[in-house]
Amino acid sequence: MELAKRRGFIWPSFEIYGGVGGFYDFGPLGTILKNKIIQKWREFYVIGEGFFEIDSPSVMPEEVLKASGHVDHFVDAMVECKKCGTAFRTADLAREQTGKDIEGMSKEEMEQFIGKNRVRCPDCGGELGKIFDFNAMFRTTIGPGSKRVAYLRPETAQGIFIDFKRLQRYARGKLPFGVVQIGKGYRNEISPRQGVIRLREFTMAEAEVFFDPEDPHHPKFSNCADEKIRLWRAEDEVEGREKLTEVTAEQAVKKKFVCNELMAYYLVLTKKFLCELGIPENAIRFREQTPGQRAHYSSETWDAEVDTARFGWVEVTGLAYRTDYDLSRHAEFSKEDLTIFRADKKRKVLCHVIEPSYGIDRPLYCMLEHAYTTDGKRKYLRLKKELAPIEVGVFPHLNRDGMPEKALEVHRSLKSKGFMSEYDDAGSIGRRYARADEIGIPYCVTIDHQTLKDGTATIRDRDTAAQVRVALAELPSILRSLICGEVQLGEVGEPVKK
Amino acid sequence: MELAKRRGFIWPSFEIYGGVGGFYDFGPLGTILKNKIIQKWREFYVIGEGFFEIDSPSVMPEEVLKASGHVDHFVDAMVECKKCGTAFRTADLAREQTGKDIEGMSKEEMEQFIGKNRVRCPDCGGELGKIFDFNAMFRTTIGPGSKRVAYLRPETAQGIFIDFKRLQRYARGKLPFGVVQIGKGYRNEISPRQGVIRLREFTMAEAEVFFDPEDPHHPKFSNCADEKIRLWRAEDEVEGREKLTEVTAEQAVKKKFVCNELMAYYLVLTKKFLCELGIPENAIRFREQTPGQRAHYSSETWDAEVDTARFGWVEVTGLAYRTDYDLSRHAEFSKEDLTIFRADKKRKVLCHVIEPSYGIDRPLYCMLEHAYTTDGKRKYLRLKKELAPIEVGVFPHLNRDGMPEKALEVHRSLKSKGFMSEYDDAGSIGRRYARADEIGIPYCVTIDHQTLKDGTATIRDRDTAAQVRVALAELPSILRSLICGEVQLGEVGEPVKK
């Protein structure tokens, strides 16, 4: 986190005003990385799956969220210190002071737990009062006066459900079909204390997959049937066993570990997506939520979790079987018919929904943590090369004899060819390599005396610090092949002895 | 608008609940188009200008917006009907009922204007009451209780200003340097009545260009010095003259029509950007705001306006000279030193700011309106080819003899090569062409009997309806050249006689 702040990945928001918990800014490098994650997600869901993307408001009138159940159920169990009056999220206090997860307990069970385990106010040591519900949506009003209540959306999904009629017309009756939305979600946390992991405003990418409940098949399931996934099943968690079950997608369906083929398919797709971000497969597991932990709309939820050094296992994606809950509630509250007629089956269908819901901020944090490598004296950020915010650094070996001019020429030419290139002539060459390593630049090109004589330059690899010498004319095509992983450094030029 | 709704560009939000004024959804085609506009904007400002992009929260605590002046000055003059109690934005009522623009008048002047021009309640005809200020920010609170007041940001700019210290360190002392942010902005309009033009939640792309006030030069000014811009100067507007002055960027600076070189440079860049979106140059003008119309932070503002059939001249970009207003206010309120030391000039500088601030939704509407073309019986959307949401349609001429299979194969192969391709086999071929024209698909490929014999297919041009026959093997490279405008249809294959 120190490096992430210093180098412009992530900054606490409103810092000059003392900061506000649960809000973070993405600096210049963090924003490029975030945009690359979103781009990668679109490759999976919009291009790969052929889903439609929509973009709807983050301010939503109360009717919508009343129908969706969020006004009544999107609540946090909260507790106040009897002495100093500070308010806390009960489950967070319990986790911090006892290491136990009491998420999903009833208010009475939580009170008992707190009494038995002597959980106290972390600020003043005071005794805690009664537990009560706090609606975690940010509340506002639309227009003058305070009559039209609205909330900041807790998920992008509702914008999709209420557009269902128009969307299914756009899909021209095809089932299953999917719709995605990428944008901000909000959760007015009580007292967030987990840095970038528990945010009040976050970016999410959600997909709602609409299907006929009598036909929960994915047309490409056979492509992933043999892929393995590691499951922590709810029946084991309930019994206190942290036992992982590794099965193929096909077995998961056959053994009824997961509700249907679509769920298994999207578990595999989630694993593949996280691996594409550079998260090692053995740091990924799927935890099934216990009935008490599940959101009100879900009959089965799997959380993709990533193991981190700082926060332990972190949920990065939630895959929920939302059944027909949302469409039936909106049909009821809006009085619109949200069924569709299947001409081929000669019957009406109220679609069911499988929802893969991705956070973007948390995977970004996990990527940074997993990429951070120390190797002797060297520290570097081993990001996937194609995802690195800056792809190439261009340096003059010395600040004289025309080297800076040549280096700037090379830098500008790479930029014009679409590379994220950075020019740096500040400090010694060693310091510049070290800085480039810290922000994960996969390749640095150095212009030296020999460049001016024979038109060659060195390329240095971030992960091995090895260098080769290549002709400048071939630089763009060599860098392109290196960054997308088609070739290794040793294959593209003469090794340079140090 | 009818077409935009029917075909999935823009939908009224919360439609099944009766809708809420000032909110619109982007449907599947609208979202692709919007993303392409944002991509194009990044090409101009992030790649072309080399500006840094950041991403900060849309919820901002009151301190920040108190310092920025928005708590006190981001207000709308409002008036209520004495009879039915409905509230209106005074300037909107005046414009609707008299055609006159009273924006920027004092409250007393507005009251006089309304009395003299007999402006009445449009709903019940009742008399209007006193005019009063309404703060146009959405208000909320952070955390439990209502102590920590916050607002939804009225502009993305403030997130940049409060990060200035970290940003200038990232820029390593270089001046001028620019920072951009793309994201949602909010304005809690009183009673928006102008469809997609007056939104309560909108997407904006803002650039803050920080510079030394003693050195307001742009390194690339010479590239645009001879470009012409059409100005409607404030001194003419104040005198009631709708007179346009056409000058080059260089003349605009020399004649002191604009405050400095940077402003002139970004006026030209804005014109170029709008032209790249397909808006004709003669439908673009720059209107200087009169002192009464300007925002509290600006000492000179130019609005880029686009002429539309439905709403007249529409403001799409605002270019403001914000001076050191924001940095000095944040320095004062946060007690942080926001000056920078210029080592080369041996003095401290409090940077000044030129801000090009773009709406994304309004240019999108303007693009659609300008693209809509009727030509005899044919209606089509003449979008710039590279910006069209769907780039290629692939159709089987008939639904038999293997044509659908072959067409699907071609469609999938184009998709895998990165084309936004759509397969369509519903209805007659004529109806499919008509539908493709309506959503602006520049090229349709049809697989017919001859395809199965000789591996050729037809390509049809949206704008001329002309067709040529080409070999399938060459299809991707031909389509790529056609879409980016390198070649015309007539140059790539045998003309097909109809």
Query: How many whole angstroms separate alpha carbon A403 and alpha carbon A422?
Result: 15
- Min distance A190 CA to chain B CA atoms (Å): 5
Band of the pLDDT at A292, cuts 50, 70, 90? Answer: confident
Encoding tokens for residue A207? Answer: 């997909």
Does B205 lie in the same domain as B94?
Answer: no
Mean pLDDT of all residues in B12-16:
97
Residues in chain A: 498
Q: Which of B59, B188, B426 sits opposite A201 (nearest CB)?
A: B59
Residues A353 and A455 in one domain: no
DSSP string, A312-331: EEEEEEEEEEEETHHHHHHH
Q: What is the mean pLDDT of chain B?
A: 95
Contacts of A35 in chain B (CB under 8 A): 53
CATH number at residue A173: 3.30.930.10
* CB < 8 Å to B412, chain A: none
Average pLDDT on B30-58 reads: 97
Q: Do B415 and A25 touch (CB under 8 A)?
A: no
Run of H or E including B288: strand B284-288
Flag if B190 and A143 touch (Cβ within 8 Å).
yes
CB contact under 8 A, B61 and A163: no
Nearest CA in chain B to A76: B144
What residues contact residue B432 under an 8 Å CB cut-off, 6+ apart?
A: B393, B395, B424, B426, B444
CA distance A495 to chain B (A): 33
Measure CB to CB from residue B184 to each of A52, A179, A184 and give the nearest one: A184
- Please say whether the beta carbons of B209 and B355 come within 8 A: yes
> What is the spatial distance between Cα A91 and Cα A105, in angstroms, rounded to a whole number?
9
Mind telling me how many Å the CA of B48 is from chain A's nearest CA?
Answer: 9
User: Can you give the CATH number for the domain in which A380 is found?
Assistant: 3.40.50.800
pLDDT, position B112: 94
Strand order of the β-sheet with B87-89 is: B87-89, B75-81, B128-135
For residue range B85-109, what is the model confidence (pLDDT) as tens digits?
888 999 989 998 998 889 888 899 9
pLDDT of residue A182: 98
**Partner residue opposite A140 with nearest CB, options B28, B139, B179:** B139
Nearest CA in chain A to B172: A426
Residues B338 and B394 placed together within one structural domain of the fold: no
B52/chain A closest Cα distance in angstroms: 5
Chain A nearest CA to B247, separation (Å): 30
pLDDT-based confidence at residue A193 (cuts at 50, 70, 90): confident
Cβ within 8 Å, pair A166-B11 = yes
Question: Is residue A146 domain-resident?
Answer: no
**Whether A381 and A363 share a structural domain:** no
How close A188 comes to chain B (CA, Å)? 6
Enumerate the residues of chain A whose CB falls inside 8 A of the CB of residue B57: 13, 23-25, 200-201
Cα of B107 to nearest chain A Cα, Å: 18
Of A63, A139, A159, the CB nearest to B25: A159
How large is the average pLDDT for residues A213-231?
A: 97
pLDDT of residue B278: 97
Kindly report, residue by residue over B207-237, the tens digit of the pLDDT. Answer: 999 999 999 999 999 999 999 999 999 999 9
Tell me if A346 sits within 8 A of A212, measured CB to CB: no
Pairing of the two strands A177-186 and A228-232: unpaired
Partner-chain residue, chosen from B8, B16, B148, that has the shortest CB–CB distance to A336: B16
* Structural contact between residues A350 and A338, judged by C-beta atoms closer than 8 angstroms: yes
Looking at beta carbons, which residues of chain B come within 8 Å of A34? Answer: 55
Query: Which of A26, A60, A140 to mutate: most B Cβ within 10 Å?
Result: A140
For residue B344, what pLDDT is reported? Answer: 86
The nearest alpha carbon in chain A to B18 belongs to: A334
**A392 and A346 fall within a common domain:** no
- Buried-exposed string A456-468: b where 16+ CB fall within 10 A, e elsewhere: bbbbbbbeeeebb
Which residues on chain A are in Cβ contact (under 8 Å) with B166? 8, 11, 15, 27
Distance from CA of B245 to the nearest CA of A (A): 35
State how beta strands A52-53 and B392-396 pair. unpaired
Three-state DSSP state, A7: coil
Q: How far does B55 lie from chain A, in Å, by closest CA? A: 5
Q: Indicate the residue of A30, A167, A200 with minimum beta-carbon distance to B59.
A: A200
* C-alpha distance from B44 to closest chain A C-alpha (Å): 12
Copy the structure tokens of residue B27.
């449907």
pLDDT in tens, B280-292: 999 999 999 999 8
> Distance, in angstroms, between A283 CA and closest chain B CA?
28
Q: Confidence class of residue A86 from pLDDT cuts 50, 70 and 90?
A: confident
Same domain, A103 and A225: no
The residue of chain A with its CA nearest to that of B86 is A144
Burial B100-117 (b: 16+ CB within 10 A, else e): eebbebeeeebbebbeee
Contacts of residue A395, defined as CB under 8 A and 6 or more positions apart, other chains included, come to A407, A423, A424, A425, A429, A432, A444, A445, A446, A447
Predicted confidence (pLDDT) at residue B303 exceeds the cutoff of 70? yes
Residue B498: pLDDT over 70: no
Q: Which distant-in-sequence residues (6+ apart) come within 8 Å of A337 by Cβ?
A: A331
Q: Are B148 and B141 in contact (CB under 8 A)?
A: yes
Tell me how far the alpha carbon of residue B27 is from its chain's centroid. Answer: 17
Q: What is the mean pLDDT of residues B187-205?
A: 91
**Given A16, A184, A191, which is nearest B330 (Cβ)?**
A16
Picking from B24, B57, B179, the nearest residue to A13 by CB comes out as B57
Residue in chain B closest to A27 (alpha carbons) equals B54
Of the partner residues B16, B26, B61, the one whose CB lies closest to the CB of residue A165: B16
- B357 and B157 in contact (C-beta within 8 Å)? yes
Q: Are residues B86 and B160 in the same domain?
A: no
Tens of pLDDT along A138-192? Answer: 999 999 877 799 999 999 999 999 999 999 999 988 899 999 999 999 999 988 8
Query: In terms of Cα–Cα distance, which of B262, B164, B155 is closest to B217?
Result: B262
To test the contact with chain A by mutation, choose from B16, B191, B408 the residue with the greatest count of A C-beta atoms within 10 A, namely B16
| A66 assigned to some structural domain | no
* A491 lies in some domain: yes
Instruction: Annotate A350-376 with b (16+ C-beta within 10 A) or e (fewer).
Output: ebbbbbbbbbbbbbbbbbbbbbbeeee
pLDDT on residue A294 = 92
Number of Cα atoms under 13 Å in the Cβ half of residue B454: 7
Same domain, B304 and B208: yes
Has residue B433 got a pLDDT over 70?
Answer: yes
Exposed e or buried b per residue across B196-230, where buried means at least 16 C-beta atoms within 10 angstroms of its C-beta: bbbbbbbbbbbbbbbbbeeebebeebeebbebebb
Chain B residue numbers touching A61 (CB-CB < 8 A): 14, 17, 20
Give helix then strand counts, H and E, for chain A: 17, 27
* A49-62 CB burial, b ≥16 within 10 A, e <16: bebbbbbbbbbbbb
Chain A positions in Cβ-Cβ contact with residue B30 (cut-off 8 Å): 55
Chain B residues closer than 8 Å to A148 by CB = 20
CB pairs under 8 A between A and B: 187
Per-residue pLDDT for B3 more than 90?
no
pLDDT grade for A1, boundaries at 50, 70 and 90? confident
Q: Are B15 and B6 a contacting pair, CB within 8 Å?
A: no
Tens-place pLDDT, residues B384-404: 999 999 999 999 999 999 999
Token duo for residue B376: 């005899």
Closest CA to B460 of B425, B428, B427, B434: B434
Reduced to 3 states (helix: H, G, I; strand: E, B; else coil), residue A268 is helix
Asked whether residue A324 is domain-assigned, the answer is yes
Taking the CB of residue B133, how many other CB atoms lie within 10 A of it? 13
Cβ–Cβ of A201/B426 closer than 8 Å? no
The DSSP call for residue A355 is E
Encoded tokens for B339: 């000056």
Is the separation of the CB atoms in B208 and B325 below 8 Å?
A: no
The single-letter DSSP state of residue A496 is P
- pLDDT of A324 higher than 80: yes
Distance from CA of B12 to the nearest CA of A (A): 10
Q: Do residues A322 and A442 share a domain?
A: no
Which domain, by its residues, includes B440? 376-495
β-bridge pairing A24-26 and B300-308: unpaired
Beta-carbon contacts of A188 under 8 Å, excluding residues fewer than 6 positions away, are A135, A136, A137, A138, A200, B142, B143
CATH code: domain of residue B113: 3.30.40.230
Q: Which of A15, A22, A55 sits opposite B25 (nearest CB)?
A: A55
E strand intervals along A23-86: 24-26, 52-53, 59-61, 75-81
CA nearest to A139 within chain B: B140
DSSP label of A360: S
pLDDT-based confidence at residue A87 (cuts at 50, 70, 90) = confident
Task: Write the DSSP assignment of B295-309 as a string of letters.
Answer: -TT-SEEEEEEEEET
Instruction: Verify whether the Cβ–Cβ distance A55 to B34 is below 8 Å.
Output: yes
Output the pLDDT for position A377: 87
The minimal CB distance from B166 to the residues A11, A139, A141 is found for A11
**Which of A204, A209, A178, A220 lies closest to A52 in space, CA to CA?**
A178
Q: Which residues of A touch B79 (CB under 8 A)?
A: none
ipTM over 0.90: yes
Higher per-residue pLDDT: B497 or B62? B62
Q: What is the pLDDT of residue B1?
A: 82
Decide if A155 contacts A206 (C-beta within 8 A).
yes
For residue A166, the one-letter residue type is R
Helix (H) / strand (E) containing B366: helix B361-371
pLDDT-wise least confident of A105-109, A314-318, B199-203, B357-361: A105-109
Q: Model confidence over A376-409: pLDDT tens digits?
A: 889 999 999 999 999 999 999 999 999 999 999 9
| B128-135 and B75-81 beta bridge pairing | antiparallel
Chosen domain end from A118, A134, A150: A134
Q: Which residues of A touch B165 (CB under 8 A)?
A: 16
- As for how many domains chain B has, the answer is 3
Q: Which two tokens stand for residue B160?
A: 């940049």
Strand order in the sheet with A421-423: A421-423, A392-396, A443-447, A456-461, A467-471, A494-495
DSSP alpha helices (H): ranges in B100-148?
107-116
Higher-confidence residue of A196 and B457: namely: B457
Instruction: Tell me what the pLDDT averaged over chain A comes to.
Output: 95
Query: Helix or strand or coil: residue B348?
Result: strand
Give the integer Cα–Cα distance in Å for B268 and B209: 15
Whole-number pLDDT of residue A498: 66
For residues A459 and A478, is the Cβ–Cβ distance under 8 A?
A: yes
Of A93, A113, A134, the residue that ends a domain is A134
Task: Say yes or no: A232 and A336 in one domain.
Answer: yes
Cβ separation of A25 and B191 shorter than 8 Å? no
B100 and B166 assigned to the same domain: no
Backbone angles phi, psi at A34, to 5 degrees: -60, -45
| Whether residue A360 sits in one domain with residue A419 | no
Compare all CA atoms of chain A with the CA of B141 and give the residue at the minimum distance.
Answer: A138
The pLDDT score that the predictor gives to residue A195 is 83
